Amino acid sequence: MPAREFCGVVGISLQGKGAAPYLFRGLRALQHRGQESAGIVTSSHGIFYQRRGMGLVHEIFGQELLDTLRGPVGVGHVRYSTTGTSDLENAQPILVKVRDQDAAIAHNGDIVNFERIRHRLQAQGVELLGNADTETMAQTIALEYGRTRDFDAAIRRACTELVGGYAVVFLVGSKVYGFRDPLGIRPLVLGTLEGGVAVASESVAIELMGGKTLRDLAPGEIVVLDKGQIIHTSSIPNSGERAHCMFEWVYFSRPDSVVERQPVYDVRYRIGQRLARESPAEGDLVVPVPDSARPQGLGFSATSGIPYAEGLIKNRFVERTFILPDQKRRESEVRVKLHPVPGLLRDKRIVLLDDSIVRGTTLREIVGMVRAAGATRVDVRVGCPPIRAPCYFGIDMKERKELVAHDRDESQVAAAIGADSVHYLSIAGLVESIGLRSEDLCLGCLTGKYPVEVPEERHRFQKSLAEF
């Protein structure tokens, strides 16, 4: 089963201005969500202009190229490959035909029943060009549009078949459709720009485009943008339940973003405070693994009284290792990415703060680095409970055997990564730090109980797919 897409999307509709420069800035703000490929599609008077490439946003889009992407409306995407292979064929946005109209779709998330829907489409004679679930989603909507001739209704009907977590921007003619899965697993926010409107995966993208965030789209909400305005909203049928991905606050979102009205920085700071109370440590310095564990480290230091120190310096021109497309590259990049401050860690007991442990390979390298810098003790504190089960909705955690905490307790994890001790935040502590109810969060990778039915996995409320 495919399971691992985590990306960033942007959709823009302006009055008269060119959309490409705004899309470029929005995608750069979301670069942390995907560093493998990027793409932009714009539309001017029904003519589409497209550019996709492998690499970082600023490497692909120079000013001369941006000038060729004409039109006041468009969509953009940054990709960290998961469902589908790592090549230009599966870079997004992808172009499709919706009957007689050109369209372009970009998607963040994963469709659990991707293979079943793909086989059904092929049986109906639909030719699929790639192997990503984004195209499958687009063709499902296109089939429904052929029946209804109403694009909004086609999205609603198609999404009753699509099981999983997703946030989508769909450019059809001159209109941008933005929508989320009915449980709100993947994030999507709505905002205003000078002379227009936009949707994006994170609030920071809208703000760094010079705009203002209005609100999160509601789970299952469809918003239609045209001529620089919000012209329509509707909803995909849903049960009213919520399952926002906890990993947005723990790791993926930028600390200056706000997710479901909860500032990410504040959540991470509270995580550090709670962790210091749950799992105190005796140490000389609190050292965070940069960048995402900095707020946790500050919170832990403030509560424990142990001084905070930037003991590891990050090379800002190296990719986020967790979202690199293969394990060998993740391991080889750690020592290029981080370097200890000379002398700072020598003869010190270090409390090392990390946001989460997934496979443990990266943290093992970091612990070894801290010891090599002269630390006499390394106690690891983790701002996320043990990840024991796969994610099927958009994070690269697809097999239990890859997860260091799957069949190990804390002492065994400590031995595996070379630390003197490891303690994780509790699930209750995480929920309290986020500030939402546990039943409104997706905690499937922590509990093994999922918000929708996944083959051979447990459902958190044991309900059928028909109820979503």
pLDDT digits (tens, 9 = 90+) for 262-276: 999 999 999 999 999
How would residue 8 be classed by pLDDT, with cut points 50, 70 and 90? very high
Query: The whole model's pTM is what?
Result: 0.91
Q: Percentage of residues in the chain with pLDDT exceeding 90? A: 78
Average pLDDT value for residue range 199-205: 98
**Does 281 score more than 60 pLDDT?**
yes
- What confidence score (pLDDT) does residue 348 get? 98
Q: CATH says 8-243 is which class?
A: alpha beta
Q: Is the pLDDT confidence value at 465 over 50?
A: no
Q: Which of 353, 347, 355 is nearest to 371 (CA)?
A: 347
Q: How confident is the model at residue 86 (pLDDT cuts 50, 70, 90)?
A: low
Average pLDDT, the chain: 91
Region 184-189: mean pLDDT is 97
pLDDT at 100: 83
List, by residue number, the catalytic residues: 7
Supply the CATH classification number for the domain 258-447: 3.40.50.2020
Alpha-carbon span 366 to 415, nearest angstrom: 14
Residue 17 — pLDDT band, cuts 50, 70, 90? very high
What is the average per-residue pLDDT within 243-254?
Answer: 96
Mean pLDDT for the stretch of residues 175-179: 98
Check residue 318 and give its pLDDT: 67
Q: pLDDT, tens digit, for every residue of 356-384?
A: 999 999 999 999 999 999 999 999 999 99
Question: What does the alpha-carbon distance between residue 263 and residue 92 come to, in Å, rounded to a whole number?
Answer: 29
pLDDT of residue 292 exceeding 70, the answer is yes
- Domains of the chain, by residue range, sit at 8-243, 258-447
Residue 5 has pLDDT above 80, yes or no: no
pLDDT tier at 4 (50, 70, 90 boundaries)? Answer: very low
d(CA 39, CA 171): 13
